[in-house]
Amino acid sequence: MPVLRSTVLIDAPPRTVAGLLRDADVAAAALHRCGHRLFAPVRLLTPGTQVRIHTLIGPGVRVPVHTRVDAVSQAGMTSTLVAGPLRELTHTVTLTPTAAGTLVLDEIRWATPLGRLGRVADVLLLRRLVLRTLAARSEVLVERAAALVAGPVVVATAVLRDGELLVAQRTRPPALAGRWELPGGRVEPGESEPDAVVRECREELAAQVRVTGRLGTDLPIDAGVLRVHTAELGPEAPEPRPLEHSALRWVGPDEVAEVDWVDADRAVVADLVALLRAGTPAVEGT
């Protein structure tokens, strides 16, 4: 089974790089540089998401392939080819923190079809195509990481209590009214992210919370980068109130996936379910 490996060093923490890996806009920009086209149902890819790629293999000749995201976390991302000319193709991206940034290791494995003819095609076409595409993605990752690290930060808060999660129903803008989200907002200049979490929960929920960790990857959004923190209510804290939302509710692990989430928060549904079922705090750090 052929194996192709490629590495690049990105000047950003693993959570940020992982967030860019799952951003369909980043993937589409990289593929476009090589003449390919990507079609994804959502911007932020999650386990189970399938994307369609029209791969340019020659002048005016495109081959459609479908891939499925199997796993995504701050440690990396794994996807599998589910339809296309190759067999048993898997793409694993491993992220390793270093003093200079995050080392990105791509490892692609596939089964060569058509015997000797397939092996010739591997050498003359496939490996060259894949390496060129990975090089384009590395360029885009470097560019987008620099912009994301320097850009605005928005925090969202997963407030937990007795195995349940607090969710808030939006009132605005009209396109999002009625959908549910994790409470939060933009980090102000000179403010730390945990301090922003505490302030936003006080302003939106009249609640005093204690920040307990981070959840999932960074999430690229139009307003900058969204980072989800976990928190718990303070001792003898009163029941949160919807000061800036139309309603609040507590949901358990079996209900989280059924919530009509705003798109960005839906990207962490799997992380929220795992956290609630484990009953343990999220991991601290970047």
Q: Out of 54-68, 107-121, 204-218, give the one with best mean pLDDT.
A: 204-218
Q: Which fold has domain 3-150?
A: Alpha-D-Glucose-1,6-Bisphosphate; Chain A, domain 4 (3.30.530)
Which is higher by pLDDT, 180 or 175?
A: 180
**The pLDDT value given to residue 127:** 81
Question: What's the mean pLDDT in 225-231?
Answer: 98
Tell me how far the alpha carbon of residue 22 is from its chain's centroid. 4
> With bands split at pLDDT 50, 70 and 90, how would you rate the model's confidence at 220?
very high
Query: Does domain 153-278 sit in CATH 3.40.50.1440?
Result: no
**The pLDDT value given to residue 113:** 61
Query: Does pLDDT of 112 surpass 90?
Result: no
pLDDT digits (tens, 9 = 90+) for 190-209: 999 999 999 999 999 999 99
Task: For the chain, give every domain's residue range.
Answer: 3-150, 153-278
pLDDT digits (tens, 9 = 90+) for 263-280: 999 999 999 999 999 875
> With bands split at pLDDT 50, 70 and 90, how would you rate the model's confidence at 87?
confident
> With bands split at pLDDT 50, 70 and 90, how would you rate the model's confidence at 121?
low
**Residue 82: exposure state from Cβ atoms within 10 A (0-12, 13-18, ≥19):** exposed
Instruction: Note whether 55 and 39 are within 8 A (CB).
Output: no
Question: What's the mean pLDDT in 168-174?
Answer: 92
pLDDT digits (tens, 9 = 90+) for 14-64: 999 999 999 999 999 999 999 999 999 999 999 999 999 999 988 888 989
